[in-house]
Structure 1
Amino acid sequence: MDIIIKEEITKEYNMTEEIVKRAFLKVGDKKEHILVNRIRKSNAFIPELSLVAKDQNNDIVGHIMLSKITIGDGDNTADSLALAPLCVVPEYQNKGIGSQLIHAALKNAKELGYGSVIVLGHKDYYPKFGFKPASLWNIKAPFEVPDEVYMALEITENSLENVQGIVYYSSAFSD
């Protein structure tokens, strides 16, 4: 299957939100498309890290977004990224498109100088990409969540070596 991963462009925003809505129709709180819209309007948005997957007909079949977050313990803070959301429309799932989106987003993030990514996600899926429990770095979510689903990834070696504390998401995640 020929899939192209590219940076999302402004004129695709509405279509992307429809794809996100469709992909999360049966899981989650069904508001992920609203989250995408709010992140785009926030200072956490990084256009180069909002990617779409397109099929041979140039239709959007998947999306990933990484946005700015900070991790801190009061005195020390560090910049990082949140991976949220990642989606592929149902009829294209289990074909490797999500993996392609993750690899492309992580590559772009590293090229932009980011060192780490945090994700709240499936405990059996994200470790395939190197994600480990965030607790290994003493990094905690700002809400109650099982340890095995709150993960971190160093995309630059040792980028989390001196980082610990609570993850602070942009207001887009709480509005």
Structure 2
Amino acid sequence: MTHVVLEKPEQRAQVLALNRLAFDGEEEARIIEALTRDDLVVLSLVVTEGEKVTGHILFSRLEVEVDGRPVKAVALAPMAVLPDHQNKGIGSTLIRRGLDLVTARGFEAVLVVGHTAFYPRFGFSAEAVRHIACPFQGHEAFMGLELKPDTLAGESGACRYPAAFTL
């Protein structure tokens, strides 16, 4: 049976290994460790099958402002599923549960740099963040989702990703 739960400290080694496998490298594991060290993690969920972690999603604090007003936002990154468990709904389950929880915690928007065929299913769009200056601006994979209506709407804005994303 598959369960979505908050990541426990004893699952961290599996989470890092899963991200290394899913992304074929160290980058996402390094991001997870840096965000944790800098106390920027808002939510880290895992999907488990027995004791095995098969999926992971992380949301972290993100500085965003639109038309001079702060937006309570998070970055969704990384999200990973073990390669032999992909295309079974684990990623979708993680995103839905994660969005529910960050919404319940009062966050107003989520930004992601991700697959353009996957994230729009959940309401993410490049159009929502077209006016927000950041290192990923203009890239079709840079997308946003309003959790509270009109929080990303405006003439201009900016976001500053934590150093963990640029090291």
Would the TM-score normalized by the shorter structure come out above 0.5?
yes
Following the alignment from structure 2 to structure 1, what is the Cα–Cα distance between the partners of residues 16 and 58?
A: 12
Q: Which residue is equivalent to 2:28?
A: 32
In 2, Cα distance between the equivalents of 1:58 and 1:16? 12
Q: Greater strand share, 1 or 2?
A: 2
Q: TM-score, normalised on structure 1?
A: 0.86
Q: State the 4+ residue runs in structure 1 displaced beyond 4 angstroms.
A: 134-137
Looking at structure 1, the residues matched to 41 and 147 of structure 2 have their Cα atoms a distance apart, in angstroms, of 19
Give the drift of 1:163. 7.8
- 1:43-122 superposed matches below 5 A: 43-46=39-42, 49-55=43-49, 57-72=50-65, 75-122=68-115
For structure 1, the residue ranges without an aligned partner over 5 or more in a row are: none
Q: Is the 8 A contact 2:68 2:157 kept in 1?
A: no
Unaligned runs of 5+ in 2: none
2:163 aligned with 1:167: no
Cα distance change of structure 1 residues 135 and 113 upon mapping to structure 2, 3 Å threshold: closer
CA shift, 1:164, in A, is 3.8
1:118-133 to 2 correspondences below 5 Å: 118-133=111-126
Q: Does 1:149 align with 2:145?
A: no
> Deviation of residue 73 (structure 1)?
6.2
User: Percent identity among equivalent residues?
Assistant: 30
Q: TM-score, normalised by structure 2?
A: 0.90
Tell me how far 1:42 sits from its aligned partner.
1.2
Partner residue of 1:19? 18
Aligned to 2:38: 42
